[in-house]
């Protein structure tokens, strides 16, 4: 929840119009909700979703959603911006929809996620090193330094109560995600031909997918353990 954004929940059962987060959470609790799962879907990979198609379509467009635990509801955010640059007003409308009660798609266990991350990082590092396109240079170093500084400050990546493995998996997944983003953002690097750029994409896509799966597994670990 961003400090400068106003959040409202729309379509909540029992409410005629949009309501604030505090009222919405209370209403959801009254409907039987006892927890939340995160979903991070992208086209071709409905990660964390369980249907129906209408909810999945909205979540895929937003590339993120929340699925409630204990009652069949899902929340999809829509970010709305207004005003001139320098005085931008940000509002987030969470659309509440019915979801199918079924296991979320393609979410691994924490142990599976940890193993997959280690394997994907090893394979991608080898492939990118051969192509000379791994994230490097001043921009990459500055981003990695900032990441290390946050880690050294002992920042909490998850709320208290999560299993230690979830914290470990999420921290690694976030670092892997950062490295993938840097490799994409820093231009073609040594991948000067179309075939080399395609090879870089082939090396990065599985790593990005594994990192997203690991993040979902880590965020959802508290509910899954319960």
- Using alpha carbons only, what angle is made at residue 117 by residues 114 and 121, rounded to the nearest 5 degrees? 150
Together in a domain, 61 and 142: no
Low-confidence ranges of the chain (pLDDT < 50): 134, 136-137, 139, 190-191
Domain range for 182 is 110-225
Together in a domain, 118 and 178: yes
Together in a domain, 78 and 124: no
Burial class (CB in 10 A: 0-12, 13-18, 19+), 146: exposed
Together in a domain, 9 and 82: yes
Report how far residue 164's alpha carbon sits from residue 126's, in angstroms, rounded to the nearest whole number.
Answer: 29
pLDDT of residue 143: 53
Residue 57 inside a domain? The answer is yes
- pTM of the model as a whole: 0.81
Domain total in the chain: 2
Which residues lie below 8 Å from residue 67, measured CB to CB, with a gap of 6+? 36, 37, 38, 39, 48, 49, 50, 73, 74, 75, 99, 104
Together in a domain, 213 and 148: yes
Together in a domain, 131 and 151: yes
Residue 103 inside a domain? The answer is no
pLDDT of residue 42: 94
pLDDT of residue 20: 94
Dihedral in degrees, nearest 10, Cα atoms 201, 202, 205, 211:
-120
Based on its alpha-carbon atoms, the radius of gyration of the chain, rounded to whole angstroms, reads 19
Instruction: Characterize the bridge pairing of strands 89-98 and 5-10.
Output: parallel
Together in a domain, 94 and 114: no
Together in a domain, 90 and 157: no
Using alpha carbons, list the distances in angstroms from residue 140 to 125, 148, 158, 172, 185: 15, 12, 25, 17, 9
Report how far residue 96's alpha carbon sits from residue 27's, in angstroms, rounded to the nearest whole number.
Answer: 12
Together in a domain, 117 and 221: yes
Together in a domain, 37 and 87: yes
Together in a domain, 221 and 128: yes
Which residues lie below 8 Å from residue 191, measured CB to CB, with a gap of 6+? 131, 132, 133, 197, 199, 200
């Amino acid at each position: 929840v961003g400090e400068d954004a106003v959040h409202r929940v729309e379509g909540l059962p029992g409410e005629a119009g949009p309501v604030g987060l505090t009222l919405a959470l209370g209403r959801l609790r009254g409907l039987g909700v006892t927890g939340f799962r995160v979903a991070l879907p992208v086209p071709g990979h409905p990660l964390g979703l369980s249907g129906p198609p209408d909810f999945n379509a909205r979540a895929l467009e937003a590339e993120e959603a929340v699925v409630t635990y204990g009652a069949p509801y899902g929340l999809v955010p829509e970010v709305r911006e207004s005003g001139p640059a320098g005085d931008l007003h940000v509002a987030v409308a969470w659309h509440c929809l019915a979801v199918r009660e079924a296991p979320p798609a393609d979410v691994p266990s924490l142990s599976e996620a940890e193993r997959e991350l280690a394997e994907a990082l090893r394979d991608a590092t080898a492939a990118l090193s051969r192509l000379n396109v791994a994230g490097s240079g001043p921009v990459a170093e500055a981003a990695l330094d900032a990441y290390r500084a946050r880690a050294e400050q002992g920042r909490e990546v998850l709320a208290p109560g999560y299993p230690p493995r979830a914290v470990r998996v999420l921290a690694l997944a976030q670092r892997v995600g950062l490295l993938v983003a840097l490799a994409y953002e820093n231009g073609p690097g040594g991948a000067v031909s179309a075939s080399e750029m395609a090879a870089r994409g082939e090396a990065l896509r599985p790593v990005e997918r594994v990192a997203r799966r690991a993040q979902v597994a880590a965020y959802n670990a508290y509910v899954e353990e319960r």
